[in-house]
Chain A
Amino acid sequence: MRQVLYALCPGIVVYTWFFGTGMLMQILLASAFALLFETLMLKVRKQPLALFLNDGSAIVTAVLFALCLPPLAPWWIACIGMFFAIVITKHLYGGLGYNVFNPAMVGYAVVLISFPQAMTQWLPPMAIAPVDIGFLDGLRSILTGHLPAGLTWDAVTQATPLDAIRSSVANGQTVAEARHLATFGDVGGRGWEWVANAYAAGGIWLIWQRVISWQVPTALIGSVFLLGLAGFVLDPGSNPSPLQHIFYGAVVLAAFFIATDPVSGCTSPHGRLIFGAGVGILTLIIRRWGAYPDGVAFAVLLMNMAAPLIDRYTRPRIYGH
């Protein structure tokens, strides 16, 4: 678990570099709530505190959840998200190793559905931001929900690349036309594409360290690429290119850090390939036809439900059978 945290560091550093310090505060808040709920639940369940608090799993959940939040989301978002992640999804299902669903993604899905406004207030990269919100102003905003005097949310926030594409296509524009907006970078969103690269670097290190297996990331990114390619070839006007699909949103983060959660995923090598491909395909389906611009969280949760069944039908052939 520690190694997962180390592997997330490059991504967090790049994120902060492009989008400011709000993300760090979200990580701290979520971690604090996660440890609080973890301690409470361990006490209630009469489990050894030191043993389970030291395993780092609650912090990993918190960091992954925080990385999905808009940097200036109010503090109670982290609180509610962590309550559902740690208390409901993890401990009420039996604690570490027994949860059916990915805790971070349940927490994220709950706050995304319940508080859509707070969850869509994304900041643009600082380089193209109309106003610079400093550390203290950001902290005040997170804790009180109020921006510095004279600013409105409409002024400081900007649509994410996936939002921009969705609304442009809905307005009859092609994807290529939408990509002239400042929020886009070379292949993905401006800044976002570098965050994705940093996540990938950390993820590849994890594969090398044998903390995660190669199957899920390969299948996930591969299926997004292939399905994205099919859509792009058939209808380039309303579909982003496969590479853009990979670099938008949370695909890379999910491929290396979220869908690779061993507890809620598949265990057999073939099962992991199917699991990864399933997350990739569902993500693109939700992006294209769903009500939300990105679908990684829902795709992961849907595949979590299917994981035991996949495991059942992808058992390796036993020696001599």
Chain B
Amino acid sequence: MKQDTAAELARNAGKRVFHFHGGLRLHHHKQASCKVAVQTLAIPPRLYIPLAQNAGPAAQPLVTPGSRVLKGQQLARFDEPSLGFVHAPTSGTVVAIARQPVTHQSGLEGLCVVLKPDGLDRWTQLDPIEHWRSVDAEVILQRLCESGLVGLGGAVFPTSKKVDEARKSGIHTLILNGAECEPYISCDEMLMREQPDKIVLGALILQRAVAAEQVIIAIEDQMGEVFSALQAALSRADCTDVRLVRVTTIYPDGGEKQLIQVLTGLEVPSGCRPPELGLLCHNVATAAAVAEAVTEGKPLLQRIVTVSGNGVKRPSNLLALIGTPISNLVDACGGYTEDAARLVLGGPMMGYALASDQNPVIKAANCILVLSQRDVQPGQAEMPCIRCGECARVCPALLLPQTLNWQIRNDLLDQATDSGLGECIECGCCDYVCPSHIPLVDWFRFGKSEHNLLSKARAQSERARDRFEAREARLEQLRQDRTRRMNEKKQALQDRPPSPDGAPGRGQP
């Protein structure tokens, strides 16, 4: 009942701009990479296409080493149907299917298709859905799934799955998230400037797929050019139920939960997803990819990647094929500066360090950040927590990070979970303000995975105990049955009329 009223309230999304708790006003550092237009990166000599996009089982290869493939051809199929396929980013020959370092926090290796491009970039047969306004929503969903579309904001959740789940709970408002809040990252900003029509088209297709009444495109108030570009695109597309909303630039306003709070004043209830409120959130880059997948039939083969930071000579945005080694991107930006110190995938707040620039670009790779020696500041030693509470002041999830830190360090994982560890969005605000330089988010990630392991171990021992108890019960039942049968037999013998020779209970064969 309460959810229904919340969903009704959420209909007013975007009419007023609200605030979320905490957050930080950070220096954007976006200008450096926004000066030049997005350049298309030349096809590299080798592509390393990972067969698993995220933590999850890898896709089953459909090609073998030596196979010639066309651009857009399916290379592998996921067992889970909603995950769709892995596609060839360009035409060429499969050289190997081997374990390679993949771009993941773990730094582990994963199965990759190694492709040697032939330089011709020949497309496979494409199948555009021209009349997407009249086809069944199922057809659009099927296309999104086949095209390997995932959320390009960083979470890489399969788009078709997200849309399908949302459709079932009923969506009134589709939100396109253009609030790219992390410093340095400008790939979405450049996309919105250069291809606003494609984003609006994708928005309309997604709106059609979930039958939403209205669409909101949310951008930050510091993106001046973006606003006019999108507004022009909206008037060209002549759509009245799409609104452009500017939100105050406070990190992390681009987080899904935070953006929803800013637009509606409502919080997504714990354990629920935005569709419970009748809302569906997609990244603007995902919307553009939806437009390409549906109206042009092109699967997701490339993405815009921001290459920025003080450690790279000419920061810029590049349109790169999935699987391109990161070193190619850095080279295209003039290479490293002398004091380049650390390679980060993602932004300075939520990104993770990469061990090597041979790792390939993945669908989640929105930014390659090269930090310089002076950014890294190795000298700051960690001090004990003095409970100053700054972390709680900036936490957008309203957690008490210092308490969580203490609980995790003392192995009180259940208590930490009760204190809301699972609600941490790992935005890094607490890390940023901590005067004692405690790597809080690292501890929270550690705590989450430890608690995960603990829960699994508990579930397993629970199952083992159930099995043991079931076995005990079964054996007990057998014992009882046997005793009962014996008693019955005894009884039967006793009850038998005396035999002719006068010896009761005897005389059986």
Contacts and interface: CB of A to CB of B under 8 A. Distances in A.
B505 interface: no
B269 to A, nearest CB: 5
B335 interface: no
Nearest to A98: B384
Interface string A286-321: 000000000000000000000000010001111111
Contact of B257 (A96, A265, A268, A320): A320
Contacts of B403: 267, 311
Interface in A247-274: 262-263, 265, 267-269, 272
A319 B396 contact: yes
A262 B387 contact: yes
Contacts of A213: 389, 393
Nearest to B267: A320
Given A268-B392, A321-B420, A316 B398 contact: yes
Nearest to A260: B388
B281 to A, nearest CB: 15
Contacts of B106: none
B381 A96 contact: no
A320 B255 CA distance: 14
A51 B267 contact: no
Given A55-B383, A262-B387, A267-B387, A316 B392 contact: yes
Contact of B423 (A263, A267, A318): A318
Interface residues of B, number: 30
Given A263-B387, A267-B387, A319 B21 contact: yes
Given A262-B389, A267-B389, A267-B392, A318 B398 contact: yes
A97 interface: yes
B83 interface: no
B264 interface: no
A272 B388 CA distance: 11
What DSSP secondary structure best describes chain A's contact surface?
Answer: loop
A321 B272 CA distance: 11
Interface in A228-284: 262-263, 265, 267-269, 272
Interface string B248-288: 00000000010000000001111110000000000000000
A161 B485 CA distance: 97
Interface string B376-413: 00000101111111101100111110110000000000
For A96, A210, A262, the residue with the greatest tally of chain B CB atoms inside 10 Å of its CB is A262
A311 B272 CA distance: 28
Contacts of B398: 316-319
B423 A319 contact: yes
Contacts of B386: 96-97, 262-263
A70 interface: no
B270 A318 contact: yes
Contacts of B390: 210
Contacts of A316: 392, 398, 400
Contacts of B21: 319
A316 B22 CA distance: 12
A272 B383 CA distance: 23
A201 to B, nearest CB: 22
A95 interface: yes
A268 B384 contact: no
Nearest to B433: A210
Contacts of A269: 389, 392-393
For B257, B270, B387, the residue with the greatest tally of chain A CB atoms inside 10 Å of its CB is B387
A91 to B, nearest CB: 12
A261 to B, nearest CB: 9
A320 B400 contact: no
Nearest to A315: B400
B440 to A, nearest CB: 14
Interface in B226-260: 257
Nearest to A1: B386
Contacts of B272: 320
Contacts of B385: 97
Interface in A26-51: 51
Contacts of B389: 213, 262, 267-269, 272
Contacts of B384: 95-98
B414 to A, nearest CB: 16
A262 B392 CA distance: 13
A95 B397 CA distance: 30
A263 B388 CA distance: 7
Nearest to A96: B384
A184 to B, nearest CB: 38
A267 B381 CA distance: 23
B420 A268 contact: no
A96 B388 CA distance: 12
Contacts of A315: 400, 419
B311 to A, nearest CB: 29
Given A96-B386, A267-B400, A318-B397, 15 more contacts: A51-B381, A96-B384, A97-B384, A262-B387, A267-B402, A315-B419, A317-B398, A318-B423, A319-B267, A319-B270, A319-B398, A320-B257, A320-B267, A320-B272, A320-B423
6 contacts: A262-B387, A267-B388, A268-B392, A316-B400, A318-B398, A320-B268
